[in-house]
Amino acid sequence: MDGYQLDVLGGVHLGSALLAMALGAIVLLKPKGSKFHIKAGYAYAVMMLVLNGTALMIYQLFGHFGPFHYAALISLISLFGGIIPAYLKKPEKTWLEFHYEFMNWSVIGLYAAFWSETFSRFFRFAGFWVLVATGTAMTVAIGVYLLKSKKKEMLKKYSKVNA
């Protein structure tokens, strides 16, 4: 790819990431089960598909398929792991829990990637991998705390909405 194509690809990647971050936050913070939640969730999913698709086409950092490409594949797995149960409403008794877990992990992964990128790009006080690991670890720790502390309340509250 020439420089212009990489710039366009990078712009699409960045734009979809920023939109996915905004939509992911909205979906997590707003009431669940509404038409708005569903529409915003699908918009988030589309942005994540674009984001991960472009991530799988960017090879500037390593020149070959690298660790961030594997992260994009894991991101796609978490995205589909959350969408499919909600769309099919299966397995009947646990689809909401699958949806909750996988979609939260999708957003946590998105924010972990954001902080890793931000730390490695703007705070060059340590090596690249130290900064990536720090951004990821901090985001995952906060994300796990929030995901686990809210899980019972959310599932109880929204299982009634989706009954």
Give per-10-residue mean pLDDT for the chain (163 aa). Answer: 72 96 94 91 98 92 84 97 95 93 96 92 84 93 92 78 58
Please give the pLDDT value at position 14.
Answer: 94
The two tokens of residue 12 are 């699409």
Say how many domains are in the chain. Answer: 1
- Tell me if 96 sits within 8 A of 159, measured CB to CB: yes
Range of the domain at 19: 3-161
> Radius of gyration of the chain from Cα atoms?
17
Closest CA to 113 of 41, 16, 7: 16
Closest CA to 107 of 16, 14, 20: 20
Q: From CA 72, how far away is CA 70, in angstroms rounded?
A: 5
Please give the pLDDT value at position 123.
Answer: 84
Eight-class DSSP state of 74: H
